[in-house]
Structure 1
Amino acid sequence: MAAKEKPRIGEGNRRPAGCALPLHVLIADACVRTETEGVVTHTWGSPFPDTAFAEAGEGFLMSAPEFCFLQMAGCLSLVQLIQLGFELCGTYALVGSAPVVRRAAPLTTKAKLAAFVEQSSGARGCKKAARAVRYVQDGAASPMETMLAMMLCLPYGLGGYGLEKPLINHRVDVPSSSKRLADRAYCVCDLCWPEAKLCVEYDSARYHVDPDRQDSDARRRSTLIALGYTVVTVTRGQVMDAGAFNRLAHQLAKQTGKRLRYSDPDFTRKHRALRSELLQTFALKEDAR
């Protein structure tokens, strides 16, 4: 970062594993700015928190997930930044036009994002990042779970229905008194409102040809119902159709005790804009489960 020469790719195209070209490089001095097929440079005019960088191997440092979130506030819309927050705090990754990539564990958490943004007060994009992180949730395992949570729970002003935030991929343990009703020790719900005993399960077309998965899902739903939960199954068609999704939102609002008070046509316009922006990222994915 403090080099006085313009960054360039060295012999053998040496760079951190998995990094496609061009490399985006942070520099300390604007006089060494450059833009080539291999390197694009950026400057940062604020102090770096201690946790801004992580080792990337091969002698390189890379932006930590929290710093990446703050950096991207400068070029993403608010909705896109919230999406990125869900992805960083979830167990999936979007890589260009490729199918969704699964991760064993999240790269960061909402609490870490919020703490980093707070430490970076005054930095470029800080206000937008602070606003976005309020709506981020931990635990999403797929783009569709993110889309559902955002469309249902973002405030009216951003095009969401303003429902109380669910727990995402929440574990529901089967009590010992109910062991005879279940074939498992616990169930994991896509979206769960524990106080309302409500679960929303996304029914992915990806698993319609997998009898074993269908059987497991059916038994899991039966277990949740036996434990007193209302289980609502949502299909891709419902998510993609504005009218069907509106009915779903009203059903869930009733189940959670939320009275919807939005005003039309203003809300419908904002909801359509939100839906359109989310679909730009998610709709064409082969595996948007």
Structure 2
Amino acid sequence: MRYQNLLHEFLDNAPVLDSSLCKRAPLLSVSQLESILPNFKRKNGYLKLEAALRYVRDGAASPFEAQAAILFGFSCYKGGAGFSNFSLNRRIILSRRAKHMLQKNYVVADLLFEPNDGGVPVIVECQSKLIHDNKASYLAYADRALALETMGYHVVLLTYATMSSLKAWHSVVEHIRKKLNYSKPRQPQDFELRELDLRRNVLIDWKTLGF
């Protein structure tokens, strides 16, 4: 019963959730899941949960960001792009010049990729349809991208349409690899099938999950 009590304790202390999937605070953090995992060691599903935790990341603020993180972060053997050195919703303190441009002290990057020697850090901004339909929001993002470029970041604006197109997605992945000075990871012979299977399970309407 100890593992059940631990799980109930975490859930009881979780914040009240908004009805919108995009605004829900996480019930548990990765570190919390890792801390309670040993209590499930003799239970069915333990090995699957342990394996899944290797691919879980804190910080996604929307289903779009979570989907992008999965496609970027899963290994090639899981059908992903094989990136590992990135974080979600990282706060970036602005330089004096960038502060003047944006009239703020910091911004939060949707996905921030750390480069190898000789590369440049890459920020991927997940662009929703709402931003494209709203001229003021779109211009604000353009100013933000320019300010970050003055600080040495390379900014990639990723739309859901681009992520959904396999050809466009491959172009984005290769572009980011070059900017980061990453070599292309080794891929299994059946990578194309693995990639299609991952995308079929990830690029869905997440509001339907569990129903």
The interval holding the TM-score normalised by the smaller chain is 0.7 to 0.9
| Aligned-residue identity in percent | 24
Give the distance between the partners of 2:11 and 2:100, measured in 1 at CA.
Answer: 47
1:130 aligns with 2:50: yes
List aligned pairs for 1:92-241, cutoff 5 A. Answer: 100-103=21-24, 105-176=25-96, 179-195=99-115, 196-241=120-165
Partner of 1:51: 6
- What RMSD in Å do the two structures reach over aligned CA positions? 2.7
Using structure 1 for the length normalisation, give the TM-score: 0.62
Residues 128-173 of structure 1, C-alpha deviations (whole Å, 9 max, x = no match): 0011011100110111111111111101111111112411111110
In 2, are the aligned partners of 1:221 and 1:231 still within 8 Å (CA)? Answer: yes
Residues 82, 185 of structure 2: 8 Å contact kept? no
Cα-to-partner distance string for 1:207-227 (whole Å, 9 max, x where unaligned): 222222122212211111111
Secondary structure of residue in 2 paired with 1:140: coil
Whether the 8 Å CA contact 2:114–2:122 is kept in 1: the answer is yes
**CA distances 1:177-198 after superposition (whole Å, capped 9, x unpaired):** 7544542211111101245421
For residues 97-149 of structure 1, give each alpha carbon's deviation from its aligned partner in whole angstroms, at most 9, with x where no partner exists: xx63413x432211111111123211111110011011100110111111111
Of the candidates 163, 183, 190, which is equivalent to residue 266 of structure 1? 190
Distance 1:169 1:239 in 2: 19
Are the counterparts in 2 of residues 181 and 226 from structure 1 also a CA contact under 8 Å? no
Structure having the higher Rg: 1
**Contact between 2:86 and 2:113, CA under 8 Å: does it hold in 1?**
yes
Following the alignment from structure 2 to structure 1, what is the Cα–Cα distance between the partners of residues 141 and 176? 21
Whole-Å Cα distance in 1 between the matches of residues 176 and 56 of structure 2?
A: 20
TM-score when normalising by structure 2: 0.83
CA distance in 1, matches of 2:208, 2:127: 17
Unaligned runs of 5+ residues in structure 1 are 1-45, 55-62, 66-87
> Which of the pair has the greater relative contact order for Cα pairs under 8 Å at 6+ separation?
2
Q: By percentage of residues, which structure has more helix?
A: 2
1:181–1:194 CA distance, 2 compared to 1 (3 A): farther
Determine the structure 2 residue equivalent to 1:75.
none
Q: Which amino acid aligns with 1:224?
A: L
